[in-house]
Amino acid sequence: LHGHRRDAAGYARALEHFDAWLGPFIEALERGTLLFITSDHGCDPTMKGSDHTREYVPLLAMRIGSTGGRDLGVRESFSDLAATLAEHFGLAGVPGKSFLDLIPGGAEGA
């Protein structure tokens, strides 16, 4: 919202609000819960114009209670997230390349 409006100050306030909310949210989740944080696109609020300015989107994937981190690399498609969720829930036939085994704290991602 703030990126499309080119409102850098509003963008910063929104990030601070999200950051303040995220810690208590994570603490309320059960150990082993998968959490994905992402976005649909990127808009740099300091750039002129109203078009999307960055096509890479953030993707954080974590298993509550695990420690450490791992680079998931650049995903080829947003459908990789759908494939990851499908694998977690035991569903087949979903397009994309699952990265479930890369998430720390799982059977292979430990």
Please tell me the distance from the alpha carbon of residue 110 to that of residue 40, in angstroms, as a whole number.
Answer: 28
pLDDT in tens, 17-39: 999 999 999 999 999 999 999 88
With cut-offs at 50, 70 and 90, classify the pLDDT of residue 108: very low
Contact in structure between 97 and 78 (CB atoms under 8 Å): no
Find, among 60, 82, 81, the residue nearest to 71 by Cα.
Answer: 60
Tokens of 51: 């078009």
Could you tell me the domains of the chain?
2-102 (3.40.720.10)
Give the number of other Cβ atoms within 10 Å of residue 26's Cβ. 13
